[in-house]
Structure 1
Protein backbone atom coordinates (compact mmCIF):
# COMPACT_ATOMS: atom_id res chain seq x y z
CA UNK A 1 0.00 0.00 0.00
CA UNK A 2 1.32 3.43 -0.94
CA UNK A 3 2.11 5.80 1.91
CA UNK A 4 -0.10 8.91 1.32
CA UNK A 5 2.52 11.19 2.84
CA UNK A 6 5.19 9.83 0.55
CA UNK A 7 2.91 10.20 -2.45
CA UNK A 8 2.40 13.89 -1.66
CA UNK A 9 6.04 14.65 -0.86
CA UNK A 10 7.47 17.11 -3.36
CA UNK A 11 10.30 16.02 -5.59
CA UNK A 12 13.32 18.20 -6.14
CA UNK A 13 15.80 18.57 -8.96
CA UNK A 14 18.43 16.49 -7.18
CA UNK A 15 16.02 14.21 -5.36
CA UNK A 16 13.72 13.05 -8.14
CA UNK A 17 12.85 9.38 -7.87
CA UNK A 18 12.72 8.87 -11.62
CA UNK A 19 15.11 10.07 -14.31
CA UNK A 20 14.08 13.27 -16.01
CA UNK A 21 14.84 14.03 -19.64
CA UNK A 22 15.70 17.69 -20.28
CA UNK A 23 14.81 19.23 -23.63
CA UNK A 24 17.23 19.84 -26.49
CA UNK A 25 20.68 21.08 -25.61
CA UNK A 26 20.91 18.76 -22.62
CA UNK A 27 23.96 20.39 -21.11
CA UNK A 28 22.30 23.82 -21.08
CA UNK A 29 19.25 22.36 -19.34
CA UNK A 30 21.35 20.57 -16.72
CA UNK A 31 23.36 23.73 -16.02
CA UNK A 32 20.14 25.72 -15.66
CA UNK A 33 18.63 23.22 -13.23
CA UNK A 34 21.79 22.94 -11.14
CA UNK A 35 22.10 26.73 -10.91
CA UNK A 36 18.43 27.06 -10.00
CA UNK A 37 18.70 24.37 -7.31
CA UNK A 38 21.60 26.22 -5.70
CA UNK A 39 20.21 29.75 -6.06
CA UNK A 40 16.83 28.80 -4.58
CA UNK A 41 18.49 27.07 -1.62
CA UNK A 42 17.26 23.61 -2.56
CA UNK A 43 20.91 22.64 -2.22
CA UNK A 44 22.53 24.56 0.62
CA UNK A 45 26.09 25.94 0.76
CA UNK A 46 28.48 23.28 1.99
CA UNK A 47 26.35 20.42 0.67
CA UNK A 48 28.07 17.83 -1.49
CA UNK A 49 26.40 16.89 -4.78
CA UNK A 50 25.55 13.25 -5.43
CA UNK A 51 28.14 11.23 -7.37
CA UNK A 52 28.38 11.60 -11.13
CA UNK A 53 26.56 8.34 -11.73
CA UNK A 54 23.60 9.33 -9.58
CA UNK A 55 23.34 12.72 -11.28
CA UNK A 56 23.47 10.98 -14.65
CA UNK A 57 20.47 8.85 -13.72
CA UNK A 58 18.59 11.75 -12.13
CA UNK A 59 18.89 14.00 -15.18
CA UNK A 60 18.65 11.19 -17.72
CA UNK A 61 21.86 12.21 -19.48
CA UNK A 62 25.30 10.72 -19.93
CA UNK A 63 28.13 11.10 -17.44
CA UNK A 64 29.95 13.21 -20.00
CA UNK A 65 27.09 15.72 -20.06
CA UNK A 66 27.05 15.78 -16.24
CA UNK A 67 30.82 16.25 -16.08
CA UNK A 68 30.77 19.17 -18.52
CA UNK A 69 27.71 20.74 -16.88
CA UNK A 70 29.26 20.59 -13.41
CA UNK A 71 32.40 22.18 -14.83
CA UNK A 72 30.38 25.09 -16.26
CA UNK A 73 28.56 25.62 -12.96
CA UNK A 74 31.93 25.54 -11.18
CA UNK A 75 33.15 28.29 -13.54
CA UNK A 76 30.18 30.41 -12.41
CA UNK A 77 31.47 30.17 -8.83
CA UNK A 78 28.62 28.04 -7.46
CA UNK A 79 30.56 24.80 -7.03
CA UNK A 80 33.99 23.61 -6.01
CA UNK A 81 35.24 20.29 -7.34
CA UNK A 82 37.88 18.76 -5.07
CA UNK A 83 39.60 15.49 -5.93
CA UNK A 84 38.64 12.85 -3.41
CA UNK A 85 36.16 15.09 -1.60
CA UNK A 86 33.45 15.47 -4.21
CA UNK A 87 31.66 18.55 -5.52
CA UNK A 88 30.46 21.00 -2.88
CA UNK A 89 28.19 24.05 -3.09
CA UNK A 90 29.86 27.40 -2.43
CA UNK A 91 28.62 30.26 -0.29
CA UNK A 92 26.72 32.95 -2.19
CA UNK A 93 29.64 35.36 -1.75
CA UNK A 94 31.64 33.23 -4.22
CA UNK A 95 28.98 33.24 -6.97
CA UNK A 96 29.53 35.21 -10.17
CA UNK A 97 26.27 37.16 -9.97
CA UNK A 98 27.02 38.88 -13.28
CA UNK A 99 26.85 35.55 -15.08
CA UNK A 100 23.63 35.65 -17.16
CA UNK A 101 22.37 32.26 -15.96
CA UNK A 102 23.06 33.00 -12.30
CA UNK A 103 21.63 36.52 -12.44
CA UNK A 104 18.50 35.37 -14.29
CA UNK A 105 17.89 32.70 -11.64
CA UNK A 106 18.40 35.21 -8.83
CA UNK A 107 15.93 37.67 -10.38
CA UNK A 108 13.40 34.96 -11.27
CA UNK A 109 13.25 33.69 -7.69
CA UNK A 110 13.51 37.08 -6.00
CA UNK A 111 10.23 36.87 -4.07
CA UNK A 112 11.24 39.62 -1.62
CA UNK A 113 12.48 41.86 -4.46
CA UNK A 114 15.73 42.19 -2.53
CA UNK A 115 17.85 41.50 -5.60
CA UNK A 116 15.97 44.09 -7.65
CA UNK A 117 16.31 46.59 -4.79
CA UNK A 118 20.07 46.01 -4.78
CA UNK A 119 20.16 46.28 -8.55
CA UNK A 120 18.54 49.73 -8.37
CA UNK A 121 21.21 50.87 -5.91
CA UNK A 122 24.06 49.53 -8.04
CA UNK A 123 22.57 51.03 -11.20
CA UNK A 124 22.26 54.39 -9.45
CA UNK A 125 25.92 54.37 -8.47
CA UNK A 126 27.18 53.23 -11.87
CA UNK A 127 24.90 55.35 -14.04
CA UNK A 128 25.35 58.34 -11.76
CA UNK A 129 29.11 58.13 -12.25
CA UNK A 130 28.62 57.83 -16.01
CA UNK A 131 26.34 60.87 -16.11
CA UNK A 132 29.05 62.72 -14.21
CA UNK A 133 31.64 61.71 -16.80
CA UNK A 134 29.30 62.53 -19.70
CA UNK A 135 28.89 66.07 -18.39
CA UNK A 136 32.64 66.49 -18.40
CA UNK A 137 32.85 65.35 -22.01
CA UNK A 138 29.86 67.24 -23.38
CA UNK A 139 29.90 68.63 -26.90
CA UNK A 140 27.17 70.20 -29.00
CA UNK A 141 26.90 66.99 -31.02
CA UNK A 142 26.60 64.79 -27.96
CA UNK A 143 24.03 67.05 -26.36
CA UNK A 144 22.00 66.93 -29.57
CA UNK A 145 22.10 63.13 -29.48
CA UNK A 146 20.74 63.13 -25.92
CA UNK A 147 18.05 65.62 -26.88
CA UNK A 148 17.07 63.40 -29.80
CA UNK A 149 16.76 60.42 -27.42
CA UNK A 150 14.60 62.45 -25.04
CA UNK A 151 12.44 63.74 -27.89
CA UNK A 152 11.80 60.14 -28.90
CA UNK A 153 10.57 59.41 -25.39
CA UNK A 154 8.09 62.30 -25.70
CA UNK A 155 6.93 61.01 -29.09
CA UNK A 156 6.29 57.47 -27.84
CA UNK A 157 4.74 58.16 -24.44
CA UNK A 158 1.41 56.69 -25.57
CA UNK A 159 3.05 53.41 -26.65
CA UNK A 160 4.50 51.75 -23.54
CA UNK A 161 6.76 49.27 -25.34
CA UNK A 162 8.19 51.92 -27.65
CA UNK A 163 8.52 54.34 -24.76
CA UNK A 164 10.39 51.75 -22.68
CA UNK A 165 12.87 51.20 -25.49
CA UNK A 166 13.30 54.95 -25.94
CA UNK A 167 13.99 55.18 -22.21
CA UNK A 168 16.67 52.49 -22.51
CA UNK A 169 18.17 54.28 -25.51
CA UNK A 170 18.51 57.50 -23.49
CA UNK A 171 20.37 55.69 -20.71
CA UNK A 172 22.63 53.87 -23.17
CA UNK A 173 23.42 57.17 -24.90
CA UNK A 174 24.58 58.63 -21.58
CA UNK A 175 26.70 55.52 -21.00
CA UNK A 176 28.30 55.82 -24.43
CA UNK A 177 29.04 59.51 -23.91
CA UNK A 178 30.72 58.81 -20.56
CA UNK A 179 33.74 57.35 -22.35
CA UNK A 180 34.03 54.56 -19.78
CA UNK A 181 34.13 50.87 -20.65
CA UNK A 182 33.64 48.71 -17.57
CA UNK A 183 30.67 50.51 -15.99
CA UNK A 184 28.49 50.37 -19.14
CA UNK A 185 29.19 46.67 -19.58
CA UNK A 186 28.22 45.84 -16.00
CA UNK A 187 25.13 48.03 -16.17
CA UNK A 188 23.94 46.48 -19.43
CA UNK A 189 24.29 42.97 -17.99
CA UNK A 190 22.29 43.90 -14.90
CA UNK A 191 19.67 45.82 -16.87
CA UNK A 192 19.15 43.19 -19.56
CA UNK A 193 18.58 40.44 -16.98
CA UNK A 194 16.29 42.62 -14.86
CA UNK A 195 14.11 43.48 -17.86
CA UNK A 196 13.26 39.79 -18.18
CA UNK A 197 11.22 40.17 -14.97
CA UNK A 198 7.72 41.64 -15.17
CA UNK A 199 8.18 42.79 -11.56
CA UNK A 200 11.08 44.99 -12.66
CA UNK A 201 9.33 46.44 -15.70
CA UNK A 202 5.96 46.92 -14.00
CA UNK A 203 3.07 48.77 -15.63
CA UNK A 204 3.57 52.46 -14.80
CA UNK A 205 0.60 54.81 -15.05
CA UNK A 206 0.65 57.87 -17.30
CA UNK A 207 1.64 60.11 -14.39
CA UNK A 208 4.66 57.89 -13.66
CA UNK A 209 5.80 58.20 -17.27
CA UNK A 210 5.46 61.98 -17.09
CA UNK A 211 7.62 62.07 -13.96
CA UNK A 212 10.18 59.89 -15.71
CA UNK A 213 10.35 62.39 -18.57
CA UNK A 214 10.96 65.22 -16.11
CA UNK A 215 13.75 63.26 -14.44
CA UNK A 216 15.42 62.54 -17.78
CA UNK A 217 15.16 66.22 -18.64
CA UNK A 218 16.97 67.07 -15.40
CA UNK A 219 19.79 64.68 -16.35
CA UNK A 220 20.04 66.22 -19.81
CA UNK A 221 20.00 69.79 -18.46
CA UNK A 222 22.82 69.06 -16.04
CA UNK A 223 24.95 67.35 -18.70
CA UNK A 224 24.36 70.18 -21.16
CA UNK A 225 25.39 72.72 -18.50
CA UNK A 226 28.55 70.78 -17.74
CA UNK A 227 27.36 70.27 -14.17
CA UNK A 228 28.98 66.91 -13.45
CA UNK A 229 27.86 66.67 -9.81
CA UNK A 230 24.34 67.78 -10.75
CA UNK A 231 24.14 65.20 -13.54
CA UNK A 232 25.21 62.49 -11.11
CA UNK A 233 22.61 63.52 -8.53
CA UNK A 234 19.88 63.74 -11.17
CA UNK A 235 20.63 60.26 -12.52
CA UNK A 236 20.84 58.67 -9.08
CA UNK A 237 17.58 60.37 -8.09
CA UNK A 238 15.82 59.23 -11.26
CA UNK A 239 16.82 55.58 -10.94
CA UNK A 240 15.83 55.43 -7.26
CA UNK A 241 12.50 57.18 -7.80
CA UNK A 242 11.59 55.28 -10.97
CA UNK A 243 12.14 51.94 -9.20
CA UNK A 244 10.14 53.11 -6.17
CA UNK A 245 7.23 53.93 -8.47
CA UNK A 246 7.37 50.55 -10.23
CA UNK A 247 8.05 48.43 -7.16
CA UNK A 248 5.05 46.40 -5.99
CA UNK A 249 4.66 45.58 -2.28
CA UNK A 250 5.61 42.06 -1.21
CA UNK A 251 4.57 39.85 1.69
CA UNK A 252 7.83 40.73 3.43
CA UNK A 253 7.39 44.50 3.22
Structure 2
Protein backbone atom coordinates (compact mmCIF):
# COMPACT_ATOMS: atom_id res chain seq x y z
CA UNK A 1 0.00 0.00 0.00
CA UNK A 2 1.31 3.44 -0.91
CA UNK A 3 1.65 5.73 2.07
CA UNK A 4 0.22 9.23 1.83
CA UNK A 5 2.84 11.94 2.14
CA UNK A 6 1.69 15.35 3.36
CA UNK A 7 3.17 18.58 2.04
CA UNK A 8 2.87 22.16 3.17
CA UNK A 9 1.83 25.01 0.82
CA UNK A 10 5.46 25.48 -0.17
CA UNK A 11 5.82 21.91 -1.37
CA UNK A 12 8.01 20.72 1.50
CA UNK A 13 7.09 17.11 2.35
CA UNK A 14 6.23 16.21 5.91
CA UNK A 15 6.13 12.84 7.62
CA UNK A 16 3.99 10.18 6.03
CA UNK A 17 0.64 9.41 7.57
CA UNK A 18 1.17 6.75 10.18
CA UNK A 19 4.85 7.52 10.67
CA UNK A 20 5.80 7.98 14.29
CA UNK A 21 7.01 11.48 15.15
CA UNK A 22 10.16 11.22 17.29
CA UNK A 23 9.76 12.85 20.70
CA UNK A 24 11.64 16.05 21.34
CA UNK A 25 14.86 15.49 23.23
CA UNK A 26 14.27 16.02 26.93
CA UNK A 27 17.91 16.93 27.44
CA UNK A 28 17.44 20.18 25.53
CA UNK A 29 14.98 21.56 28.06
CA UNK A 30 17.08 20.31 30.96
CA UNK A 31 20.15 21.98 29.50
CA UNK A 32 18.33 25.31 29.17
CA UNK A 33 17.40 25.16 32.86
CA UNK A 34 20.98 24.34 33.86
CA UNK A 35 22.37 27.21 31.78
CA UNK A 36 19.90 29.70 33.25
CA UNK A 37 20.65 28.62 36.81
CA UNK A 38 24.43 28.77 36.39
CA UNK A 39 24.17 32.19 34.76
CA UNK A 40 21.93 33.43 37.57
CA UNK A 41 24.29 32.08 40.25
CA UNK A 42 27.22 33.88 38.62
CA UNK A 43 25.39 37.16 38.07
CA UNK A 44 23.99 37.33 41.62
CA UNK A 45 27.37 36.56 43.17
CA UNK A 46 26.87 33.01 44.40
CA UNK A 47 29.82 32.14 42.15
CA UNK A 48 32.33 34.99 42.16
CA UNK A 49 34.86 35.91 39.44
CA UNK A 50 37.95 33.73 39.75
CA UNK A 51 36.11 30.95 41.56
CA UNK A 52 35.72 27.48 40.11
CA UNK A 53 32.47 25.75 39.23
CA UNK A 54 31.72 22.63 41.31
CA UNK A 55 32.90 19.30 39.83
CA UNK A 56 30.73 17.65 37.18
CA UNK A 57 29.55 14.99 39.62
CA UNK A 58 28.33 17.64 42.07
CA UNK A 59 26.55 19.56 39.31
CA UNK A 60 24.88 16.33 38.16
CA UNK A 61 23.57 15.79 41.68
CA UNK A 62 22.52 19.42 42.05
CA UNK A 63 20.51 19.51 38.83
CA UNK A 64 19.56 15.85 38.55
CA UNK A 65 20.92 15.50 35.02
CA UNK A 66 23.59 13.49 33.22
CA UNK A 67 27.22 14.43 32.71
CA UNK A 68 26.47 15.02 29.03
CA UNK A 69 23.86 17.67 29.86
CA UNK A 70 26.23 19.34 32.32
CA UNK A 71 29.11 19.42 29.84
CA UNK A 72 26.98 20.87 27.06
CA UNK A 73 25.44 23.42 29.41
CA UNK A 74 28.82 24.60 30.69
CA UNK A 75 30.00 25.00 27.09
CA UNK A 76 26.99 27.24 26.41
CA UNK A 77 27.78 29.33 29.51
CA UNK A 78 31.37 29.63 28.24
CA UNK A 79 30.07 30.89 24.88
CA UNK A 80 28.25 33.63 26.79
CA UNK A 81 31.56 34.69 28.32
CA UNK A 82 30.77 33.89 31.96
CA UNK A 83 33.18 30.98 32.44
CA UNK A 84 36.44 29.74 31.00
CA UNK A 85 37.10 26.00 30.71
CA UNK A 86 40.72 25.20 31.44
CA UNK A 87 41.86 21.57 31.31
CA UNK A 88 43.50 20.63 34.57
CA UNK A 89 42.20 23.70 36.38
CA UNK A 90 38.46 23.25 36.11
CA UNK A 91 35.90 25.79 34.93
CA UNK A 92 36.57 29.28 36.24
CA UNK A 93 34.15 32.20 36.49
CA UNK A 94 35.36 35.11 34.39
CA UNK A 95 35.53 38.82 35.11
CA UNK A 96 32.18 40.58 34.38
CA UNK A 97 33.93 42.67 31.75
CA UNK A 98 34.15 39.53 29.61
CA UNK A 99 30.43 38.74 29.77
CA UNK A 100 28.27 39.07 26.65
CA UNK A 101 25.86 41.67 27.97
CA UNK A 102 23.66 41.50 24.85
CA UNK A 103 23.03 37.77 25.26
CA UNK A 104 19.36 37.21 26.14
CA UNK A 105 19.99 34.96 29.16
CA UNK A 106 22.80 37.11 30.55
CA UNK A 107 20.92 40.38 30.02
CA UNK A 108 17.76 39.01 31.66
CA UNK A 109 19.73 37.78 34.68
CA UNK A 110 21.62 41.05 35.12
CA UNK A 111 18.43 43.09 35.01
CA UNK A 112 16.73 40.73 37.47
CA UNK A 113 19.57 41.08 39.99
CA UNK A 114 20.39 44.77 39.42
CA UNK A 115 19.96 45.68 43.09
CA UNK A 116 21.23 49.27 42.85
CA UNK A 117 19.76 49.90 39.36
CA UNK A 118 23.20 50.81 38.02
CA UNK A 119 22.80 48.52 35.03
CA UNK A 120 19.36 49.91 34.21
CA UNK A 121 20.86 53.41 34.44
CA UNK A 122 23.51 52.36 31.91
CA UNK A 123 20.86 50.76 29.72
CA UNK A 124 18.80 53.97 29.69
CA UNK A 125 21.90 56.05 28.89
CA UNK A 126 22.79 53.73 26.00
CA UNK A 127 19.23 53.72 24.72
CA UNK A 128 19.06 57.52 24.95
CA UNK A 129 22.24 58.02 22.94
CA UNK A 130 21.20 55.58 20.22
CA UNK A 131 17.57 56.69 19.92
CA UNK A 132 18.42 60.41 19.96
CA UNK A 133 20.86 59.81 17.12
CA UNK A 134 18.30 57.74 15.20
CA UNK A 135 15.58 60.36 15.71
CA UNK A 136 17.92 62.95 14.17
CA UNK A 137 18.66 60.60 11.27
CA UNK A 138 14.96 59.92 10.76
CA UNK A 139 14.31 63.66 10.47
CA UNK A 140 16.63 63.87 7.47
CA UNK A 141 15.94 60.54 5.78
CA UNK A 142 12.28 59.57 6.30
CA UNK A 143 10.19 58.62 3.30
CA UNK A 144 6.51 59.16 2.62
CA UNK A 145 5.78 55.68 3.97
CA UNK A 146 7.85 56.38 7.09
CA UNK A 147 5.87 59.58 7.66
CA UNK A 148 2.60 57.66 7.51
CA UNK A 149 3.86 54.95 9.85
CA UNK A 150 5.20 57.39 12.45
CA UNK A 151 1.98 59.42 12.41
CA UNK A 152 -0.16 56.29 12.55
CA UNK A 153 1.79 54.95 15.52
CA UNK A 154 1.26 58.22 17.39
CA UNK A 155 -2.48 58.08 16.70
CA UNK A 156 -2.50 54.46 17.88
CA UNK A 157 -1.02 55.60 21.19
CA UNK A 158 -3.70 58.29 21.44
CA UNK A 159 -6.46 55.75 20.82
CA UNK A 160 -5.13 53.44 23.58
CA UNK A 161 -4.97 56.06 26.32
CA UNK A 162 -7.56 54.10 28.33
CA UNK A 163 -5.75 50.76 28.10
CA UNK A 164 -2.40 50.57 29.89
CA UNK A 165 -1.09 47.40 28.24
CA UNK A 166 -2.07 48.44 24.73
CA UNK A 167 -0.76 51.97 25.29
CA UNK A 168 2.61 50.58 26.35
CA UNK A 169 2.74 48.36 23.26
CA UNK A 170 1.83 51.31 21.03
CA UNK A 171 4.53 53.36 22.75
CA UNK A 172 7.17 50.75 21.88
CA UNK A 173 5.83 50.59 18.31
CA UNK A 174 6.22 54.37 17.89
CA UNK A 175 9.87 54.16 18.88
CA UNK A 176 10.42 51.27 16.51
CA UNK A 177 8.92 53.21 13.60
CA UNK A 178 11.24 56.15 14.30
CA UNK A 179 14.23 53.82 14.41
CA UNK A 180 13.12 52.14 11.19
CA UNK A 181 12.98 55.54 9.48
CA UNK A 182 16.58 56.22 10.53
CA UNK A 183 17.83 53.25 8.45
CA UNK A 184 20.20 52.38 11.31
CA UNK A 185 19.66 48.63 11.40
CA UNK A 186 22.28 47.88 14.05
CA UNK A 187 21.14 50.63 16.39
CA UNK A 188 17.54 49.49 16.04
CA UNK A 189 18.48 45.87 16.77
CA UNK A 190 20.48 46.81 19.87
CA UNK A 191 17.77 49.05 21.31
CA UNK A 192 15.00 46.54 20.66
CA UNK A 193 17.06 43.78 22.28
CA UNK A 194 17.92 45.62 25.48
CA UNK A 195 14.57 47.37 25.74
CA UNK A 196 12.53 44.18 25.34
CA UNK A 197 14.44 42.53 28.21
CA UNK A 198 14.23 45.61 30.41
CA UNK A 199 10.48 45.92 29.92
CA UNK A 200 10.09 42.55 31.64
CA UNK A 201 11.28 44.18 34.87
CA UNK A 202 8.68 45.99 36.93
CA UNK A 203 11.41 48.27 38.26
CA UNK A 204 12.12 49.44 34.71
CA UNK A 205 8.68 50.07 33.26
CA UNK A 206 7.06 51.24 36.49
CA UNK A 207 3.34 51.90 36.76
CA UNK A 208 1.25 53.78 34.22
CA UNK A 209 -1.63 56.08 35.12
CA UNK A 210 -3.61 58.60 33.08
CA UNK A 211 -1.37 61.56 33.97
CA UNK A 212 1.77 59.62 33.03
CA UNK A 213 0.27 58.43 29.77
CA UNK A 214 -0.86 61.91 28.75
CA UNK A 215 2.58 63.36 29.49
CA UNK A 216 4.14 60.50 27.53
CA UNK A 217 1.81 61.23 24.64
CA UNK A 218 2.80 64.92 24.66
CA UNK A 219 6.48 63.96 24.57
CA UNK A 220 5.91 61.64 21.64
CA UNK A 221 4.02 64.40 19.86
CA UNK A 222 7.09 66.64 20.21
CA UNK A 223 9.32 63.91 18.73
CA UNK A 224 6.83 63.35 15.91
CA UNK A 225 6.59 67.05 15.06
CA UNK A 226 10.36 67.61 15.06
CA UNK A 227 10.96 64.64 12.77
CA UNK A 228 8.24 65.52 10.28
CA UNK A 229 9.38 69.16 10.09
CA UNK A 230 12.87 67.87 9.25
CA UNK A 231 14.45 69.26 12.42
CA UNK A 232 17.21 66.77 13.38
CA UNK A 233 18.47 68.83 16.32
CA UNK A 234 14.97 69.22 17.72
CA UNK A 235 14.16 65.55 17.12
CA UNK A 236 17.26 64.40 19.00
CA UNK A 237 16.56 66.80 21.86
CA UNK A 238 12.91 65.73 22.12
CA UNK A 239 13.84 62.04 22.14
CA UNK A 240 16.56 62.59 24.73
CA UNK A 241 14.26 64.61 26.97
CA UNK A 242 11.53 61.98 26.71
CA UNK A 243 13.66 58.93 27.55
CA UNK A 244 15.68 60.50 30.37
CA UNK A 245 12.66 62.31 31.79
CA UNK A 246 10.52 59.20 31.71
CA UNK A 247 13.18 57.17 33.51
CA UNK A 248 13.70 59.82 36.19
CA UNK A 249 9.96 59.86 36.87
CA UNK A 250 9.57 56.11 37.20
CA UNK A 251 12.98 55.09 38.63
CA UNK A 252 12.23 53.44 41.98
CA UNK A 253 14.11 54.33 45.17
CA UNK A 254 17.05 52.06 45.94
CA UNK A 255 17.67 50.45 49.33
CA UNK A 256 21.06 51.78 50.53
CA UNK A 257 22.16 48.43 52.00
CA UNK A 258 21.29 46.53 48.81
CA UNK A 259 23.05 49.19 46.77
CA UNK A 260 26.25 48.90 48.82
CA UNK A 261 26.17 45.11 48.54
CA UNK A 262 25.72 45.30 44.77
CA UNK A 263 28.67 47.67 44.45
CA UNK A 264 30.89 45.29 46.43
CA UNK A 265 29.91 42.36 44.19
CA UNK A 266 30.64 44.32 41.00
CA UNK A 267 34.23 45.09 42.04
| TM-score bracket for this pair, using the shorter chain length | 0.7 to 0.9
Provide the rounded CA distance (Å) in 2 between the counterparts of 1:176 and 1:199: 27
Which residue of the partner structure matches residue 109 of structure 1? 113
Q: CA deviation at 1:75?
A: 0.3
Which residue of the partner structure matches residue 26 of structure 1? 30
Provide the rounded CA distance (Å) in 2 between the counterparts of 1:140 and 1:61: 56
| Greater displacement, 56-65 / 27-36 | 56-65
Q: CA deviation at 1:204?
A: 2.5
Query: Any idea what the Cα deviations from partners look like across 1:67-99, whole Å, max 9, x if unmatched?
Result: 000000000000001121111000110000111
- 2:27–2:69: 8 Å Cα contact kept in structure 1? no
Which residue of the partner structure matches residue 185 of structure 1? 189
Which residue of the partner structure matches residue 3 of structure 1? none
**Out of 147, 168, 171, which is 2:172 matched to?**
168
- 1:204–1:246: 8 Å Cα contact kept in structure 2? no
- 1:199–1:248: 8 Å Cα contact kept in structure 2? yes
Which residue of the partner structure matches residue 39 of structure 1? 43
In the TM superposition, what are the counterparts of 1:225-240 in structure 2 within 5 Å? 225-240=229-244
Q: Is 2:210 the partner of 1:206? A: yes
User: What RMSD over aligned residues (CA atoms) do the two structures have, in Å?
Assistant: 1.6
Q: CA deviation at 1:24?
A: 8.1
Which residue of the partner structure matches residue 66 of structure 1? 70
User: What runs of 5+ residues in structure 2 fail to find an aligned partner?
Assistant: 1-25, 260-267
3-state SS in 1 of match to 2:92: strand
3-state SS in 2 of match to 1:122: helix
**Out of 84, 97, 103, which is 2:88 matched to?**
84
3-state SS in 2 of match to 1:127: helix
Q: CA deviation at 1:140?
A: 3.5
Which residue of the partner structure matches residue 133 of structure 1? 137
Provide the rounded CA distance (Å) in 2 between the counterparts of 1:215 and 1:105: 31
User: What runs of 5+ residues in structure 1 fail to find an aligned partner?
Assistant: 1-21
Q: Is 2:249 the partner of 1:245? A: yes
- 2:143–2:181: 8 Å Cα contact kept in structure 1? no
Which residue of the partner structure matches residue 153 of structure 1? 157
Q: CA deviation at 1:175?
A: 1.0
Query: Any idea what the Cα deviations from partners look like across 1:197-216, whole Å, max 9, x if unmatched?
Result: 11112112322111111111
Q: Is 2:235 the partner of 1:220? A: no
- 1:204–1:245: 8 Å Cα contact kept in structure 2? no
3-state SS in 2 of match to 1:126: helix
Q: Is 2:161 the partner of 1:123? A: no
Provide the rounded CA distance (Å) in 2 between the counterparts of 1:53 and 1:24: 19
